[in-house]
């Protein structure tokens, strides 16, 4: 029996599959996708077998539901008979934003063990932030889940009522970080830097700044103040960002994403 199977090989599903294959032998990872060619391309890259959704649901101990929230009901409706026929233990793992574990159980037609986790795309590079919660899962199974995803990045257990908020910070956040890197690079180009160098400098700066926050234990505001010399260039840039509503815009982006996530969960 395959250890873990993926139903869905889109951006997030493939990111997690890549990380899992650094921990488990590829032959223990089964890939399925509604467009088989996508699963086959990822399988060729990772050395995994492919199958259809029904085979994943029938054979895998861990079933990763890497499908969009609006598609989840249809996918699980088709798998209900397969799941109900199983005599062995299995765990459903959902990445769907907004859908609670109780809702996943309802869609699947049984009170099956569920892990709900919210990774982000940097998980494919081992630099992800992954929040998770579970129901009906033993401590040993939770440890195994964390072991399988250990090469994806940092994992943090959270109560389910905080998962949506967390995913809007670290799950949506990479898109805004990329916007920031692009904007910094644009500024560098406007000042005369070649595009490739400006982009490299901006990306490495953001990476290093994140490491400073994580490893120093200092408040981001304190670290910001340390860069701002009296009468210097940086404080003038900070002043300009404040005038343009930089922090308010970022906060509003998180709240907008949170509201949308809650809306998707009602479907």
pTM, rounded to two decimals: 0.90
User: What 8-state DSSP symbol labels residue 98?
Assistant: T
pLDDT for 87 beyond 70: yes
Pairing of strands 153-157, 62-65: unpaired
Which residues carry a binding-site annotation for NADP(+)? 7-12, 66-69
| Mean of per-residue pLDDT scores for the chain | 95
Q: Where in the chain is the domain with CATH 3.40.50.720?
A: 4-167
pLDDT in tens, 189-210: 999 999 999 999 999 999 999 9
- CATH level 3 topology of 4-167: Rossmann fold (3.40.50)
Which CATH number is associated with domain 173-264?
1.10.3730.10
238 C-beta neighbours (distance < 10 Å), count: 16
pLDDT at site 263:
87
pLDDT in tens, 88-107: 999 999 999 999 999 999 99
Which residues carry a binding-site annotation? 7-12, 53, 66-69
Alpha helices in the chain (DSSP H): 11-20, 36-46, 53-59, 69-85, 101-108, 139-148, 160-166, 173-190, 195-216, 220-227, 233-243, 246-264
Burial of 245 (0-12, 13-18, 19+ CB in 10 A): exposed
C-beta of residue 105 within 8 angstroms of C-beta of residue 76: no
Which residues carry a binding-site annotation for NADPH? 53
C-alpha 36/C-alpha 7 separation (Å) is 11
Q: Where in the chain is the domain with CATH 1.10.3730.10?
A: 173-264
29: part of which helix (H) or strand (E)?
Answer: strand 29-32
């Amino acid at each position: 029996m395959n250890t873990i199977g993926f139903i869905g090989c889109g951006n997030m599903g493939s990111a997690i599959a890549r990380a899992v294959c650094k921990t488990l032998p590829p032959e223990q990872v089964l890939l399925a996708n509604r467009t088989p060619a996508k699963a086959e391309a990822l399988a060729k890259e990772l050395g995994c077998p492919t199958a259809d959704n029904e085979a994943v649901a029938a054979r895998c101990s861990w079933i990763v539901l890497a499908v969009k929230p609006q598609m989840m009901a249809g996918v699980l409706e088709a798998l209900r008979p397969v799941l109900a026929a199983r005599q062995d233990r299995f765990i459903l793992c959902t990445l769907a934003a907004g859908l609670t574990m109780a809702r996943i159980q309802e869609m699947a037609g049984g009170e099956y063990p569920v892990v709900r986790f919210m990774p982000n795309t940097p998980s494919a590079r081992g630099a992800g932030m992954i929040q998770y919660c579970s129901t009906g899962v033993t401590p040993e199974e939770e440890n195994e889940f964390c072991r399988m995803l250990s090469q994806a990045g940092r994992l943090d257990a959270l109560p389910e009522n905080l998962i949506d908020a967390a995913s809007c910070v670290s799950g949506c956040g990479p898109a805004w970080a990329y916007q920031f890197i692009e904007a910094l690079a644009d500024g560098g180009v406007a000042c005369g830097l070649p595009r490739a160098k400006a982009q490299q400098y901006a990306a490495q700066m953001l990476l290093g700044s994140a490491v400073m926050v994580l490893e120093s234990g200092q408040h981001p505001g304190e670290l910001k103040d340390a860069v701002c010399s009296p009468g210097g260039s940086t404080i003038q840039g900070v002043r300009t960002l404040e005038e343009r509503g930089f922090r308010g815009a970022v906060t509003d982006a998180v709240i907008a994403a949170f509201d949308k996530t809650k809306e998707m969960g009602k479907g």
